Amino acid sequence: MGEGTMFVPDDFAVPAGLAVDGFRLEPLGPQHNEEDFAAWTSSIEHIRNTPGFGGQKWPDPTMTLEDNLSDLRRHAADFSGRRGFTYTVLAAGSDTDVVGCVYIYPSKDGAHDALVESWVRADRAELDGPLRTAVRAWLAAAWPFTAASYEG
């Protein structure tokens, strides 16, 4: 995505979320800080073994709750600025049970228009496959991308 290039068209209505059997997605924001922090800090090894996260600097075990809040604010600013879209994954019927996260950002590889990554908590690992299946269908049905990269 070069300077001045739009990630999504101006007239594209960014999905407010996704609800499927077992979980739902809503835009990640500062209100999720404590639950999000607890989710990923309890699952660092699991996340690092999730497709798309190998060799990354995140999750960083030295991050504090305050660092995480800054990170969530940045993701929320990216969302409102249409530069990238991060959704928290919540257990169905809950506003606070953070199961994982889905990131939709511009790809930098020149071959894809979006890079999509997701993770789930280690104790909810059984949702990894259903989440990937649901997100793939959602990308095809509700997003303007023609070549999204989503490992796994």
- Share of residues in the chain with pLDDT > 70 (%): 97
Range of the domain at 41: 19-149
For the record, the structure tokens of 6 come out as 């739009």
Find the range with the poorest average confidence among 23-27, 34-38, 92-96, 124-128.
Answer: 92-96
- Nearest-angstrom CA–CA distance, 65 and 48: 20
* Span 86-115, average pLDDT: 95
In a domain, 14, yes or no: no
For the record, the structure tokens of 99 come out as 């199961």
In a domain, 89, yes or no: yes
Q: Which pLDDT score, from 0 to 100, does residue 5 have?
A: 61
User: Is the model's pLDDT at 2 over the cut of 80?
Assistant: no
Question: What pTM, to 2 d.p., does this model score?
Answer: 0.94
In a domain, 32, yes or no: yes
In a domain, 1, yes or no: no
In a domain, 7, yes or no: no
The total number of residues written for the chain in this structure:
152
In a domain, 29, yes or no: yes
Q: Looking at the 3D structure of the chain, how many domains does it have?
A: 1
Partnered with residue 88 across adjacent β-strands are: 26, 101
Q: What is the pLDDT of residues 48-79, one digit of tens each?
A: 999 999 888 889 999 999 999 999 999 999 99
* Span 68-94, average pLDDT: 96
